[in-house]
């Protein structure tokens, strides 16, 4: 074959290979061992100081915390990390945890490219804060620790770097209006089945709440919330947000509304 013929083959091949190369964007998962849970009232997440440009993650944006509330007739104390205990609290809680687990399991072989549909399909929503944009609060790669506090006699809050923020429930970007308000409290409105999410009424006032089984009596009722956290990044190539694998934080009990 002539030199001209080789060039005609080589140049298109080189262009094909070059055009097929794309930057690979990846963010590491927060290790499960970095989460410490105290009973069902507090969870602390130690953030590794790796999500920064010096470590090759200059495209890190912020952390995102997903949650869902569950109505229950079962009162429990202590740390909730047993699948059977989850089932006693609420069968939907157990099913959700089982369905989400493969995305959190770093020993698995299935790659997760976008975790948002996983949480959206299980009716999980993004945590918010009172008087602060949570995306701005959680946008530092070296925030140290995040402490989520659910005391039995006070409003649940989150502390970061010595600053405490009141936790707010989502509105689903304006799709629903939580009842009786956006605070995480065990109120008659929040454990009312009529206000909870229903597939036939996705804009129910409390679309972030999973109903209890029909056999659960109207009183007494309790509510629990399940949390997950993931790092998010921005891909400048296709202008999309991507995620690390999520990490399960905890299941905490909402304090009774006595204040």
**In terms of pTM, does the model score above 0.85?**
yes
Domain boundaries of the chain, sorted by first residue: 24-253
> What is the predicted pLDDT for the residue at 193?
95
Query: Over the chain, what is the mean pLDDT?
Result: 87
What are the pLDDT digits (tens) for 157-181?
999 988 999 999 999 999 999 999 9
Say if CB 257 and CB 232 are below 8 A apart.
no
The whole-number pLDDT of residue 54 equals 82
In which band, very low, low, confident or very high, does the pLDDT at 11 lie, cut at 50, 70 and 90? very low
Q: How far is CA 173 from the centre of its chain?
A: 16
User: Does 15 have pLDDT greater than 70?
Assistant: no
CB 241 within 8 A of CB 64: no
Question: How far apart, in whole angstroms, are the C-alpha atoms of residue 137 and residue 198?
Answer: 32
> How far is it, in rounded angstroms, from Cα 147 to Cα 158?
5
pLDDT at 113: 60
Burial grade of 67 (CB within 10 A; 0-12, 13-18, 19 or more): buried
pLDDT > 70? residue 82: yes
- Summarize pLDDT for 149-162 with one digit per residue, the tens: 999 989 999 999 88
Contacts with 174 (C-beta within 8 Å, 6 or more apart), sequence order:
none
Question: Of 221, 228, 157, 231, nearest to 189 (Cα)?
Answer: 221
Neighbours of 125 (CB within 10 A): 22
Q: How confident is the model at residue 90 (pLDDT cuts 50, 70, 90)?
A: very high
CB 130 within 8 A of CB 164: no
The pLDDT assigned to 200 comes to 82
Helix (H) or strand (E) holding 136: helix 134-137
Handedness of CA 117, 118, 121, 122 (dihedral sign): negative
Q: Among the listed ranges 41-55, 63-77, 120-134, which one has the minimum average pLDDT value?
A: 41-55
Mind listing the pLDDT tens digit for each residue in 45-73?
A: 999 988 887 888 888 999 999 999 999 99
What per-residue confidence (pLDDT) applies to 220? Answer: 94
**pLDDT higher than threshold 80 for residue 183:** yes
């Amino acid at each position: 074959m002539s030199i001209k013929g080789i060039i005609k083959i080589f140049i298109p091949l080189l262009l094909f290979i070059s055009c097929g190369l794309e930057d690979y964007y990846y963010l590491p998962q927060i290790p499960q061992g970095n989460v410490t849970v105290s009973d069902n009232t507090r969870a602390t997440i130690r953030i590794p100081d790796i999500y920064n440009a010096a470590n090759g993650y200059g495209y890190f944006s912020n952390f995102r915390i997903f949650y869902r509330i569950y109505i229950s007739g079962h009162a429990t104390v202590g740390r909730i990390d047993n699948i059977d205990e989850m089932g006693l609290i609420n069968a939907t809680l157990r099913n959700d945890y089982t369905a989400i687990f493969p995305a959190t399991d770093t020993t698995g072989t299935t790659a997760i490219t976008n975790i948002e549909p996983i949480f959206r399909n299980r009716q999980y929503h993004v945590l918010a804060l009172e008087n602060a944009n949570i995306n701005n609060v959680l946008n530092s790669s070296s925030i140290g620790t995040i402490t989520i506090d659910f005391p039995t006699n006070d409003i649940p809050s989150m502390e970061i770097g010595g600053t405490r923020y009141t936790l707010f429930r989502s509105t689903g970007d304006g799709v629903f209006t939580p009842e009786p308000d956006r605070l995480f409290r065990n109120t008659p409105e929040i454990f009312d089945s009529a206000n909870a999410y229903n597939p036939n009424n996705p804009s129910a006032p409390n679309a972030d709440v999973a109903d209890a089984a029909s056999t659960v009596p109207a009183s007494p009722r309790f509510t629990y919330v399940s949390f997950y956290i993931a790092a998010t990044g921005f891909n400048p190539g296709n202008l999309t947000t991507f995620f690390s694998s999520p990490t399960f934080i905890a299941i905490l009990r909402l304090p009774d509304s006595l204040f």
